[in-house]
Structure 1
Amino acid sequence: MGGEGDGLRDYHGRRDFGRTGEPAGRGASAGSGECRFVVQIHDASTLHFDFRLQVGDVLKSWSVPKGPSGDPSDKRLAVPTEDHPLDYEDFEGVIPAGEYGGGTVIVWDRGTYEPLSHDRRGRPVDFAESLERGHARFRLHGEKLRGEYALTRFRGGRDGGPGGGTAWLLVKTAGGGRAHGTPDPRRARSARTGRTLARVAAEERTA
């Protein structure tokens, strides 16, 4: 699924780090701790949520227009984007106009996750391999999102890069938390700083 040498090539190629405050992430290492996840609200050309799962030394990323839901009846479209560095988990701020993804970003939720994918015989499957196969199950332990979720590829073949002509569904499958939809992203508060999109944008304008 890619690492520092190839997994972040698209990420680095799309950004001018002399202008954007996004982390370059060069040399980031996963360490030996639990796998992390983060959900960011991104008010770019379209307002959307970015869902990111740590896989090895990168954050595998999907753009989720309506955001992840805690209601198992909601099937949310998730479009794969380029891998992001691990330290992107903490990024919150304004990407300058004219830069790729220009707009305001807040950390809506974050935490750890447990891989749950198994083969037909019930044996655990490597999480990166389960994503390659197009179906991955995991349990989120976030501040807002909890319980079992699944990502399932439903259109196209194997990913050929960001987007790759494919789309996925992100669905809550069972367990933990209460059944709820996604809050109004413009009123939602950061799990890291308690700020809204509007407050982050206003503070950076006056900084």
Structure 2
Amino acid sequence: MGERDRLREYRGKRDFGRTREPEGRGAAGGEGPRFVVQIHDARTLHFDFRLQVDDVLKSWSVPKGPSGDPGDKRLAMPTEDHPLEYEDFEGVIPEGEYGGGTVIVWDSGTYEPLSHDRSGRPVDFDESLERGHATFRLSGSKLHGEYALTRFREERDGEREAWLLVKAGKSGARGHGTPDPHRARSVRTGRTLAQVAVEGDEG
């Protein structure tokens, strides 16, 4: 499936004459697959967790945000694929637009796919997501180490597909818990949600 097809749902939900979100025309670059975690103060305040898979960012809405404590299981609800350029998006989505509200880049960096089959052979990361379980190592400014995404509910009978995002390791291991989204600062500009809401897209 081509990049344009994979972004059809993303583009169909947005009026790019009103929102400054990227339309998605860039190509992958840099030192490896990327990840980004954005805080999104929309109808409900939540974190968006995105992993680069081929030419798009696979995306999940994580209400409580990722945790560095292996004992925390974070609900992660899949959303539409986003363009690679969305990794850098920070600003205000206009009221009335899909996802209207303020966005900051809470963390970003690279990740290493770790998924393998029962015999220990590496599995294509996109395939591991299709199967419902993917492991990976994050190297970000705030998030580090091995994490897993596991699907625990398929989409059927009116229920949405649902996943868990969990840090690998022993429960109770040292690590940050839930970040406070109101006090959190962008790794791009050092701004809070409140500052971006006042100042707009340019910091």
Query: Cα RMSD between the aligned structures?
Result: 2.2
Given that 1:3 and 1:58 are in contact with CA atoms closer than 8 Å, whether structure 2 keeps it comes out as no
Q: What is the total number of aligned residue pairs between the two structures?
A: 200
Which runs of no fewer than 5 residues in structure 1 stay unpaired?
A: none
Provide the rounded CA distance (Å) in 2 between the counterparts of 1:185 and 1:24. Answer: 26
SS of the aligned residue for 1:87 comes to: helix
What percent identity do the matched residue pairs reach?
78
Q: CA deviation at 1:33?
A: 3.4
- From 100, 104, 123, the equivalent of 1:106 is 104
Is the 1:3–1:56 Cα contact (8 Å) retained in structure 2? no
Deviation of 1:164 after TM superposition, in Å, equals 8.0
**Which one-letter code corresponds to 2:168 in the other structure?**
T
Matched residue, 1:20: 19
The CA deviation at 1:111 is 0.3
CA distance in 2, matches of 1:81, 1:117: 22
Q: Which residue of 1 aligns with 2:9?
A: 10
1:59 aligns with 57
Choose which of 189, 197, 201 in structure 1 pairs with 2:197. Answer: 201
Structure 1 runs of 4+ aligned residues shifted over 3 Å read none
Match of residue 163 from structure 2: 168
In structure 1, the residue matched to 2:131 is 133
Separation in 1, partners of 2:151, 2:162: 6
SS of structure 2 residue aligned to 1:5: helix
Q: For 2:188, which of 176, 192, 197 is the aligned residue?
A: 192
Q: Aligned with 1:22: secondary structure?
A: coil
Please tell me whether the aligned partners of residues 41 and 103 of structure 2 are also in contact (alpha carbons under 8 angstroms).
yes
Residue aligning to 1:95: 93
Residue 206 of structure 1 and its aligned partner are, at CA, apart by 11
**Other-structure match for 1:182:** 178
Measured against aligned partners, the alpha-carbon deviations of 1:76-119 in whole angstroms (never above 9, x if no partner) come to: 00000000000000000000000000000000000000000000
TM-score, normalised by the number of residues in structure 1: 0.91
Which residue of 2 is the match for residue 75 of structure 1?
Answer: 73
5+ residue gaps, structure 2, are none
Q: Which residue of 1 aligns with 2:34?
A: 36
Tell me how far apart the structure 2 counterparts of residues 192 and 22 of structure 1 sit (CA, whole Å).
Answer: 16
C-alpha distance in 2 between matches for 1:157 and 1:102: 26
Does 2:149 align with 1:151?
Answer: yes
Q: Distance in 2 between matches of 1:104 and 1:32?
A: 27
**Alpha-carbon shift at residue 202 of structure 1 (Å):** 0.8
CA gap of 1:182–1:151, structure 2 versus 1, over 3 A, is: same
Q: Deviations over 1:118-161 (max 9, x none)?
A: 00000000000000000000000010000000000001159xxx
The answer (yes or no) to whether the contact 1:52–1:59 under 8 Å persists in 2 is yes
